């Protein structure tokens, strides 16, 4: 993709930063953020980007709720990608649950309202969703045709998020919801795993039999390019590698590529205590996510990193050794 105008709402997080790196050299990027980068927050918030060096990237303030001047920025865009939403990596208190849901619905509605005001609406709108929309599955893989949802907080959030997105009428703007699996790259979810490795806790979590659906961030970006360039693609797509693994297999592969021979397992009771201490939920590691990307494969998309070992080797080659090894 070249010479495109790409707007990324919530583009300051892990996935957004990787997308800026991927698309930012040959396209014009506009990032919608609640807090503009400056000298005081640059180091902490834009940890994988050198903001000053990003000539094609412009940061524009929004609040994720109301239409304001930022609306002008999406006029004539080739693509808008919406990643905005409170992180799910927190305790599911009533207040956090409300914020997780509201932030996602509000951002979708604000973008839709802005699109409706455009004289030249964006050609394509890709909205984040999550592969966690599918039920805990240990019996069979879940795809877009035969996958089942059941219920529960995170499933309900994803359903409401997708409904809000598809209920918005934006003729002239093609819409795609990406049900993203755990996205692997030189940051994000791998950082806590690196910390576990360093503590000697790089073994399986819980039974280790729960499925782990993943995707290399580079394939996520390539999928976005593919979708943008193929104008007949719209609707809902799983954004996951075609080869999910068990949690035990994931941890074993991670140990292999980072040079650890052993790693102690974390039993379910340990995870429950640990989750309270570090302010997260065990669901994030214990839910069996068994998701396969049937629809995107049918369109002819080819993964560069279909296998976990290749994906992790590539990612580790970009990570400073001190992040995953004590010495």
CB-nearer residue toward ligand NAP: 160 or 189: 189
- The rounded distance, in Å, linking the Cα atoms of 323 and 318 is 11
Q: Shortest CA distance to 100 belongs to which of 120, 124, 128, 123?
A: 128
Least separation, in Å, of the C-beta of 201 and ligand NAP?
21
Extract long-range pairs of 293-297: CB within 8 Å, 24+ residues apart.
Answer: 293/143, 293/237, 293/238, 293/239, 293/240, 293/241, 293/242, 294/143, 294/144, 294/145, 294/238, 295/143, 295/144, 295/145, 295/235, 295/236, 295/237, 295/238, 296/223, 296/226, 296/237, 296/238, 296/239, 297/242
Least separation, in Å, of the C-beta of 285 and ligand NAP?
13
CB-nearer residue toward ligand NAP: 10 or 119: 10
Residue recorded with tokens 């070249």:
2
CB-nearer residue toward ligand NAP: 99 or 234: 99
Pairing of β 57-61 and β 174-180: unpaired
Least separation, in Å, of the C-beta of 269 and ligand NAP?
26
CB-nearer residue toward ligand NAP: 47 or 256: 47
Contact residues for ligand NAP, defined by CB under 6 A: 10, 12-16, 33-35, 64, 83-88, 99, 103, 107, 128, 130, 180, 182-183, 188-189
- The rounded distance, in Å, linking the Cα atoms of 210 and 199 is 22
Least separation, in Å, of the C-beta of 240 and ligand NAP?
9
Q: Shortest CA distance to 30 belongs to which of 65, 78, 66?
A: 78
DSSP reduced 3-state for 308: helix
CB-nearer residue toward ligand NAP: 124 or 284: 284
289: left (phi over 0), alpha (psi -120 to 50) or beta: beta
CB-nearer residue toward ligand NAP: 64 or 121: 64
Residue nearest to ligand NAP (CB): 13
- The rounded distance, in Å, linking the Cα atoms of 249 and 185 is 18
Least separation, in Å, of the C-beta of 302 and ligand NAP?
22
CB-nearer residue toward ligand NAP: 30 or 128: 128
Least separation, in Å, of the C-beta of 234 and ligand NAP?
19
Q: Is the dihedral of CA 192, 194, 200, 206 positive or negative?
A: positive
Least separation, in Å, of the C-beta of 96 and ligand NAP?
10
């Amino acid at each position: 993709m070249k010479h495109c105008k790409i707007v990324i709402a919530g583009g300051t997080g892990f996935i957004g930063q990787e997308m800026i790196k991927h698309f930012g050299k040959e396209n014009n990027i506009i990032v919608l953020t609640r807090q503009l980068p400056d000298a005081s927050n640059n180091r902490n918030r834009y940890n994988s980007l050198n903001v000053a060096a990003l000539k094609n990237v412009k940061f524009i303030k929004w609040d994720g709720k109301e239409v304001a001047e930022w609306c002008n920025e999406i006029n004539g865009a080739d693509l808008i990608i919406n990643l905005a939403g409170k992180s799910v990596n927190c305790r599911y208190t009533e207040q956090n649950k409300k914020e997780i849901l509201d932030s996602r619905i509000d951002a979708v509605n604000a973008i839709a309202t802005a699109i409706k005001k455009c004289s030249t609406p964006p050609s394509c709108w890709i909205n984040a969703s999550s592969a966690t929309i599918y039920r805990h599955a240990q019996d069979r893989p879940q795809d877009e045709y035969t996958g089942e949802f059941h219920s529960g907080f995170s499933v309900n959030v994803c359903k409401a998020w997708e409904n809000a997105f598809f209920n918005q009428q934006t003729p002239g703007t093609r819409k795609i919801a990406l049900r993203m699996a755990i996205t692997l790259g030189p940051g994000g979810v791998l950082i806590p795993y690196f910390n576990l490795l360093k503590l000697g806790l790089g073994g399986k979590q819980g039974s280790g039999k729960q499925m782990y659906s993943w995707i290399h961030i580079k394939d996520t970006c390539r999928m976005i390019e593919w979708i943008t360039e193929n104008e007949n693609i719209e609707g809902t797509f799983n954004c996951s590698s075609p080869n999910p693994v068990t949690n035990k297999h994931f941890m074993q592969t991670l140990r292999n590529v980072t040079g650890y021979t052993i790693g102690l397992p974390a039993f379910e009771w340990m995870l429950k205590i640990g989750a309270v201490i570090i302010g997260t939920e065990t669901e994030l590691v214990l839910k069996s996510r068994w998701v396969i990307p049937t629809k995107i494969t049918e369109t002819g998309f080819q993964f560069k990193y279909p296998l976990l070992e290749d994906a992790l080797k590539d990612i580790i080659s970009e990570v400073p050794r001190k992040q995953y090894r004590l010495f």
